[in-house]
Structure 1
């Protein structure tokens, strides 16, 4: 007599992805300033054949903008091939120094726990909105084990020649195509440390959690229009509560 087997139980359904959290990297999640400067100096030498005298400050700007200003500051007239050559050289120089990241750099207080805590929030996907070129962004986070909860496919990066607010919208479009949900100002949060991050959120369409771990003060971040200003990421419950409060997935009450 044939024995009937009970049907296998259906696997639990995962909640739909309907919250997008975008992280700035430098001085929000990690600080690898020494390695960045050294890699820029090497890239400048490879591209121009000259030593770097002055590096333009990042100030929340994309690498593409920093590269053009650095060339100008050092008396180099930018030509059409300078940007792609410099980006290629910067990626190679940074990769050559990857073993120095964890030694000469640091993860910002609470970064790993904050990323893990936000990942447990229903319906959330996390990525980056950063001035750093993509290959270097991946290396920065991997060096400190911060890449586990990041979907790098939907982020916005420094080689893309867009204003940061536009890049935010590009990241929303990428996330929508990948996960099948629209992402708007009601369902997107940017977490960063500069007034430029706040401006990008305000113009691009996202709520803003500012972290006073960079060069901007808490007062400056609040004045720029951040929805919430935290001293750092050391209280992950506070970060999660803020993300939950500032996002309203479809079907929920409007914030």
Structure 2
């Protein structure tokens, strides 16, 4: 049985340098006419979930997530060059992705809280877009609950390839770990975000890595 390795993006593969947050705030004000007041916690959450919180916190009742996301994606494309300028790749990412990509027993995709268009811009900014089968990913417009994104990705992979997969989720937050476990997936935590390794272990991660710099160790964990 092949492995479907589902990668989180932010603080797992790369740091975006705050570019997406700036685009989010600008798009929100443009679309709603309401001045930005309160920044929610973004880590490990879906864009649908964050959008609902932001609308509620700002008293917005006359705007839909779809309308907001349209402008948000436009803003991202306007400033997409800033990701490479202000962001950075996490250690070891390119080597791990390349080595897994050379393995016919592995399919790599993205399971991320980002909307699909923003996910694509982020990974392309660092030359990673060729590493993933984005068609079978799970994205922040699929559902507000992170675990559903993992399930949707599995469903898409089964439908496209006509086979069952051993799912592996890689992420830096407790939400990534719990979403993996809810779907019977192997949960590999990387302590490259704001969540400590001990918290990832306590959440039930099967393996927790400090980062991906030791490619041999990372690949062993992903293929365990």
TM-score between both structures, scaled by the size of structure 2: 0.96
Distance (Å, rounded) in 2 between the aligned partners of 1:38 and 1:176: 36
1:27 to 2:11 alignment: yes
| Equivalence for 2:196 | 217
CA distance in 2, matches of 1:71, 1:33: 24
Structure 1 distance, partners of 2:116, 2:124, is 12
Q: Which residue of 2 aligns with 1:5?
A: none
Structure 2: runs of 5 or more not aligned: none
Aligned residues between the structures: 224
Q: 1:156–1:170: 8 Å Cα contact kept in structure 2?
A: yes
Moved >6 Å (runs of 4+): none
Q: Which residue of the partner structure matches residue 73 of structure 1?
A: 57
**How much has 1:59 moved relative to structure 2?**
2.5
Deviations 1:75-112 (A, max 9, x none): 323x4x52111111111111111011100111111111
* Deviation string, structure 1 residues 158-183 (Cα, Å, up to 9, x no partner): 11124221221111111011111112
- Map 1:1-255; keep pairs closer than 5 Å: 18-77=2-61, 79=62, 81-183=63-165, 187-245=166-224
What is the DSSP-based 3-state SS (H/G/I as helix, E as strand, rest coil) of the residue aligned with 2:129? coil
On the 8 A contact 1:121/1:240 being kept in 2, the answer is no
How big is the shift at 1:33?
4.1
Rg larger in structure: 1
Distance 2:145 2:136 in 1: 17
3-state SS of the aligned residue for 2:169? strand
Larger CA deviation: 21-30 vs 109-118: 109-118
Q: RMSD across aligned C-alpha pairs, in angstroms?
A: 1.3
- SS of structure 2 residue aligned to 1:148: helix
Q: Tell me, in whole angstroms, the C-alpha distance in 2 between the residues paired with 1:33 and 1:160.
A: 25
Contact 1:169–1:205 (CA under 8 A) maintained in structure 2: no
Q: Is the 8 A contact 2:191 2:211 kept in 1?
A: yes
CA shift, 1:71, in A, is 1.7
**TM-score normalised by length of structure 1:** 0.84
Deviation at 1:121, TM superposition (A): 2.7
